Structure 1
């Protein structure tokens, strides 16, 4: 197994176990840049941890998350997720999302999420 595949599988396992916020300490660079679709960039591990915490705090009902596919390239991984939940502001969300991670020295330095509205 490649080291990068092991890293993304470890990250995914934490997310599936409800420990998404713990992934920041293990897998994200201090200066990570994260982007939702084409929205504004969120820069830094602390800012992204806060963004994720706000997202999880707004979930009123969680019905599931499932990994549909994983691809590993040269310092890049892609995970295709399917999510089903209800969000306080957005309502019922049931969709597929591609998450693209760019890695450097075993840490994610850039991540972008692609999904429909």
Structure 2
């Protein structure tokens, strides 16, 4: 069994490559609660899969650079620098902080913090 540090590292490797379907299969719990900033949560992994599929079909020129990771007490915090072009939003270049709570080796709660303007 991998340690939490190893699982977080493996997850972040997939995220940096925009390999979200694999990340979901390996590291996310079916009852995931996912928050985008202060919005109401997406409930369940299937809702997250559908939202991500829509997002990935809408972006080009994407990159994700992992800047910092903290892992402690079944929680991980990752700082990302994202850069992409979205068909509706145009070019986006921003820093995002993702906080994840883990249970039994899976992410059960996730919140993304980033500027929206």
Would the TM-score normalized by the shorter structure come out above 0.5?
A: yes
Mapping of residues 5-84 of structure 1, within 5 Å:
5-62=5-62, 64-84=63-83
* Deviation readout 1:83-116 (Å, 9 max, x if unpaired): 1111111111000000000001111000000000
User: Runs ≥4 in structure 1, deviation > 4 angstroms?
Assistant: none
User: 2 CA distance for matches of 1:18 and 1:39?
Assistant: 23
TM-score (norm 1): 0.93
User: 2 CA distance for matches of 1:46 and 1:21?
Assistant: 11
The unaligned stretches of length 5 or more in structure 1 are none
User: 1 CA distance for matches of 2:37 and 2:44?
Assistant: 18
Q: What is the CA-CA distance between 1:60 and the residue it aligns to?
A: 3.2
User: 2 CA distance for matches of 1:88 and 1:105?
Assistant: 37
TM-score (norm 2): 0.93
CA RMSD of aligned residues (A): 1.2
Q: What is the CA-CA distance between 1:18 and the residue it aligns to?
A: 3.1
* Deviation readout 1:42-76 (Å, 9 max, x if unpaired): 011111111111111110332x2100000001010
User: 2 CA distance for matches of 1:9 and 1:42?
Assistant: 24
The residue number in structure 1 matching 2:92 is: 93
SS of equivalent to 2:97: strand
